[in-house]
Structure 1
Amino acid sequence: MKKYFSILIAFILAISLLPASIANAAPAELKVHFLDVGQGDSILIQAPGGKSMLVDGGTKANSGKVVSFLKSKGVKKLDYVVATHPDADHIGGLITVLNAFPVTNFIDSGHVHTSQTYYDLLTLIDKKNIKFSVAQELDKIALDPNMIIRVLHADENAKDSNDASIVLKATYNKVSFLLMGDADAAIEDKIRAKYDVAATVLKNGHHGSDTSSSAAFINNVKPSVAILSYGKNNSYGHPHLAIESRLKNVGAKTYKTPLDCDITVTSNGVKHAVSTACKDGKKVTAPATKSTVNPAPKPIAKPVTKPVTKPVPKPSIRTNFKNCTDLRTVHPAGVAKGHPAYQSKMDRDKDGWACE
């Protein structure tokens, strides 16, 4: 007994002699970035242990922005890439991302899409020999030993690509994130009936559309922070006022990518903080410090003559499409009644929205 007591005393003494920087080390931080990619989704998770996961990559047009953002955050490789579903506003930028960074694991919804973008993406995954898997409900993603990341919904056999959306809940100690992809209210009902959906941060489904974020669902989640990712002046009317009202009713602080630009939530597992790249659409910059040194006089610049450029003709607006697959190559989320490309025969459920 005396021997064990002596060992215990020695251990306590050794701990007490550790440098303060080690003994009082702050918990590692989790950073979740919601990128401003216009009418689309892209989320970068930087885990406390240093690994990185990208959920969706926005549109092809914004792929360069995604790559630049990842590099600015020190990302050298991606341990996981998740494509929540194969719509162009979620996977369009992933081909550029896969060409820019080594990727270890690719998780897909499994929902087959006939678009060229989806075909090219699968071809590239195969060419680069990236480990490919189809998400299944209750799968765990082993990004970090201090985090729990679970799949709450995935349906490769869904009739609609939005219904196939991978829904993720990521938990770091007491702080959690619920990432809804484009899941609609029916999927929300299924999830909340089976799982604990309460979360600190909610990335609302389908860009703030009124097809998602039902009052019952938001009341169950009770987020402190809500993220609405959508394009400024989009033709879909996102986000709908009812969604913002529901979030306000539960006390959520709402952030919007067109106004706040890139949004970052940082957490030590107990507390969380939100920072944004913009305020009311304008870049947030640190106030300039006054210099006590008189600046050197600027040299007088020679006048520059601008070259004569020919006016660029405006692109024609295409309104005729063979079918929904053809239409989605131009309008990934479909079109509403009243849009020049709307055709009632493509509005299968007669809800006033074709090819959603």
Structure 2
Amino acid sequence: MKKLLSFIVALVLIVGFIPFSNAEAAAKSLKVHFINVGQGDSILVQAPAGKTMLIDGGPKSAGDDVVAFLKSKGVKHLDYVVATHPDADHIGGLIDVLKTFKVKNFIDSGKAHTTETYVEMLTLIDKKNINYIVPSTLDTYKLDPNMTTRVLYANSDADDNNDASIVLKLTYNKVSFLLTGDASTEIEEQIASKYDVSATVLKAGHHGSDTSSSAKFISKVKPKVAILSYGKDNSYGHPNSAVVSRLKNVGAKIYKTATDCNITVTSDGKTYKVTNSCAKPTTTKPAPSKPATTKPSSKPTTKPATQTNFKNCTELRKVYPSGVSSSHAAYQSKMDRDKDGWACER
């Protein structure tokens, strides 16, 4: 009788532990979501042990979508929010995020900006008494005991907003992610000369612009997966065909938010899987000679994208929602009130 009882107890213990084991395995997955915010960047990191980090929030127009996406993934609070740099297409959506979720830590590039969006963001951080951090290169953050989250570059004194971009490398055992914000090729070269930039997944800098993602840098990263975050039919011509070719030349599988929508990379630290919320059409693998990926769109929402003369910023933003840089034909110095080389940013 005692033997039978011992057998039953052992059986109950074994059966009882099976669901727990499965749950434990599921909990050990790292999920990195590249959220479709149109012309901008937003990345949600869900660490294996449950902590969360949101890196950028896209433009203001994407705020509701980012909030909805976070809720759909079960996010109730954020352990870290990172503003890689103060451009509107990276911090605009963070306004709604800060209003909706409890945030423990806010990591900011420290690059001062005078736009209303940037001031509103800082005001919310102060009002909600969120721990405010300006990082230094090689700082690390404890997202998970089995992960390393390290700053490979930070420079609050950078002359250019893009070159103030915080660059992060997330490493989970054998799988790693390199997230470069809008860092230029000069910054890429600095980082690659000092640190290990090899990564399984690369979020290509500056939405696939040729101001980032040099051939030399990509050859050092050697990504298996490359993510291009940009808006469909954007007026900047993102992504640049040369960048796409460089990524293909190193064997990277390319995913684009403009055609693949929300992209999720799930990893157990040894292997990884990429899924997306849109059916992947054949056009997501364009030949290098395909002109549609290299020329600026001529399909703005309200007016022809060729228009270069505007009375004020309100009119300009109807055609170019993120404003224009000093190299753009529509740029006027009188609309660049903060004299940062970018006019009419939100």
Instruction: State the TM-score, normalized to the length of structure 2.
Output: 0.80
Q: Secondary structure at the match of 2:218?
A: helix
Q: Give the secondary structure class of the aligned counterpart of 1:278.
A: coil
Report if aligned partners of 1:87, 1:332 keep a CA contact under 8 Å in 2. Answer: no
Contact 2:41–2:90 (8 Å) recurs in 1: yes
Query: Quick check: 1:26 aligned with 2:18?
Result: no
CA displacement at 1:342 relative to structure 2: 3.0
Q: 1:103 to 1:281 in 2, by over 3 A?
A: farther
- CA offsets, 1:217-240, max 9 Å, x none? 000000000000001111111000
1:218 aligned partner, one-letter code: I
Residue equivalent to 1:270: 270
CA shift, 1:78, in A, is 0.2
**Post-superposition offset of 1:331:** 3.6
| Partners of 2:230 and 2:239 within 8 A in 1 | yes
- Structure 2 gaps of 5+ residues are 1-9, 283-301
Q: Is the 8 A contact 2:324 2:331 kept in 1?
A: no
Query: 2:310 is aligned with what amino acid?
Result: T
Q: Deviations over 1:260-294 (max 9, x none)?
A: 00000000000000000012479xxxxxxxxxxxx
Shift of 1:22: 5.5
Partner residue, 1:161: 161
Q: 2 CA distance for matches of 1:182 and 1:171? A: 20
Task: Please give the per-residue CA displacement for 1:38-75, whole angstroms capped at 9, x wherever unaligned.
Answer: 00000000000011110000000010000000000000
- Counting matched residue pairs gives 298
- CA distance in structure 2 between the aligned counterparts of 1:135 and 1:332, rounded to whole angstroms: 28
Q: Which amino acid aligns with 2:331?
A: Y
Q: Distance in 2 between matches of 1:86 and 1:215?
A: 27
| Residue pair 1:142, 1:149 contacting (<8 A) in 2 also | yes
- Residue equivalent to 2:5: none
1:300 alignment counterpart: none
Contact 1:178 1:201 in 2 (8 A): yes
The SS at the match of 2:25 is coil
Say what the alpha-carbon RMSD is for the aligned residues: 2.7
Q: 1:124 to 1:281 in 2, by over 3 A?
A: farther
My pick for the range that moved more, 136-145 or 218-227, is 136-145
Counterpart in 2 of 1:252?
A: 252
Structure showing the higher helix proportion among its residues: 2
Number of the residue aligned with 2:331? 342
Question: CA, structure 1 residues 281+248, in 2 after alignment: closer, same or farther (shift >3 Å)?
Answer: closer
Partner of 2:73: 73
Q: Where does residue 342 of structure 2 map in the other structure?
A: 355
Give the distance between the partners of 1:319 and 1:331, measured in 2 at CA.
Answer: 15
Any idea what SS the aligned residue of 1:218 has? Answer: helix
The TM-score normalised by the length of structure 1 is 0.78
Structure number, greater radius of gyration: 1
Percent identical among aligned pairs is 62
